[in-house]
A and B are shown apart, each in its own frame.
Chain A
Amino acid sequence: MLLTNLEQVPGKKIVQHFGLVQGNTIRAKHVGKDFLAGLKNIFGGELGAYTELLAESRQEATDRMIQQAQSMGANAIVNIRYSTSSVAQGAAELYAYGTAVKVEL
């Protein structure tokens, strides 16, 4: 699966268009990690646990999007966008969407 956030895949012709595909996950924070993050709020600096958690969750959202595209028979997703929104206190939604297409390889 070719992933890009450009509108086309460089050097490859788009032959078929399948429309929007999307994937999302909602993650809540881990209590123990949250406690450590609270401590970090005093000293400042990077919250490594959160960085990792969000990267993992975003990967999962991307995987779900890829799955959807695969089930349609696409071999590339173009114009991918990510967005984050907090739905509830302590939980965040990570959302990935793009256009599934078929390109000539």
Chain B
Amino acid sequence: MEIIILLTLLAFGYFFGQRAEKKHFKSIIDREKAYLKLPVVTMRTPPAIHQHTLNSELVAGNAVISIDFFKKFVASLKMLFGGHVTQYESLLDRARREALLRMKEQAQHKNAFVVLNARVETASISKNSKRRNSVGAVEVLAYGTAVSLGDKIKNEINS
């Protein structure tokens, strides 16, 4: 009986997990293309133009992504032998890119032309209290300073 439950969970995880991941990656790639013109850099110095014409604001984006049962199962098997755990790699990749995109979204909303000093922070949210060290889900926070042109220079450009 337990084996049947396990197998069903694995099948569910495999089927829905793969589908969700594919869909998510597709949407991430599409949105990344849309935001290509807004660079996000880890540089800390503002651009060397007349800086009093700039507006700066903190922007942040976060995402909590959970792993599916199938991947978790495969990953736990891989833990025995060591080596690449691609299951978690794709999970973290998804979470990071999603968080960065949300930050970019906010920056674009503020008419920024660059996001400076971007930082990415990762925290694991373990769901299972029985098994420690189990990564159930990860939270990624991306934050930075969105820099946009102030009203002063905009008026100058327009006039």
Contacts and interface: CB of A to CB of B under 8 A. Distances in A.
Contacts of B133: none
Nearest to B12: A42
Interface residues of A, number: 38
Interface string B136-154: 1101010111010000000
B9 A42 contact: yes
Contact of B139 (A6, A54, A81): A54
B137 A41 contact: yes
A7 to B, nearest CB: 6
A7 B35 CA distance: 26
Q: Which of B57, B64, B125 lies at the interface centre, i.e. has the most chain A CB atoms within 10 A of its CB?
A: B64
B64 A89 contact: no
A75 B145 CA distance: 17
A-B pairs, 9 with minimum CB distance: A44-B68, A11-B51, A11-B52, A44-B17, A10-B46, A50-B64, A84-B123, A3-B58, A43-B16
Interface string A74-94: 000000111111100110100
Contact of A55 (B57, B62, B69, B145): B62
Interface string A1-25: 0111111111110000000000000
Interface string B58-98: 10101111111101100000000000000000000000001
Interface in A32-47: 34, 37-38, 40-47
B111 interface: no
B29 interface: no
B116 interface: yes
